[in-house]
Amino acid sequence: MFPELNTSRLTLRQFRQDDLEPICENINNFEVSKMLTVVPYPYTKADGEWWLNHISETPLTKETN
Find the helix packing angle between 20-27 and 45-57, rounded to 10°.
Answer: 120
Q: Are 22 and 33 in contact (CB under 8 A)?
A: no
Instruction: List per-residue pLDDT tens for the chain, 65 residues long.
Output: 678 999 999 999 999 999 999 999 999 999 999 999 899 999 999 999 999 999 888 777 766 55
Q: First and final CA of the chain: distance in angstroms? A: 18
The answer for 23, left when phi > 0, alpha when psi is -120 to 50, beta otherwise, is alpha
Which parts of 1-65 are beta strand (E)?
5-6, 11-12
